[in-house]
Amino acid sequence: MELFSIIQALNGAFGPSGDETGVAAVIADLARPYADEVFTDVMGNLICHKKGSGPRVMFAAHMDSLGLVVTHIEEDGYLRVGALGGISAARVVHTPVRFKNGTRGVLAADNGVAVDKLSIEDLYIDIGVENSTQAMELVDLGDVAVYDTPVVQQGDVVFSPYLDNRVCCAVQLLAMEQLGQTDNDLYFVFTSQEELGMRGAKAATYAIDPDYGIVLDVTGSVDTPKVKPADSSRQGGGAAIKVMDKSVICHPAVVDTLKRLAREQDIPHQLTVKRTGGTDGGAMQPTRAGVRVGGITVPCRYAHSAVECIRISDALACVRLVCAFAQAQLEKV
Which helix (H) or strand (E) is 94 found in, with range? Answer: none
User: Exactly one of 2, 75, 177, 194 is catalytic; which is it?
Assistant: 194
Per-residue burial over 38-65, b = 16 or more CB atoms within 10 Å of its CB, e = otherwise = bebbebbbbbbbbebebbbbbbbbbbbb
Whole-number Å distance between alpha carbons of 7 and 223: 23
Whole-number Å distance between alpha carbons of 96 and 118: 18
Is 74 in the active site? no
How many helices (H) and strands (E) in the chain? Answer: 9, 17
Query: What is the distance between the terminal CA atoms of the chain, rounded to a whole angstrom?
Result: 34
Burial label for 146, CB within 10 Å (0-12, 13-18, 19+), is buried
Whole-number Å distance between alpha carbons of 68 and 168: 22
Which helix (H) or strand (E) is 74 found in, with range? Answer: none
Whole-number Å distance between alpha carbons of 90 and 69: 17
- Packing angle, helices 21-31 and 3-12, rounded to 10: 150
CB 21 within 8 A of CB 43: no
- The catalytic residue positions are 194
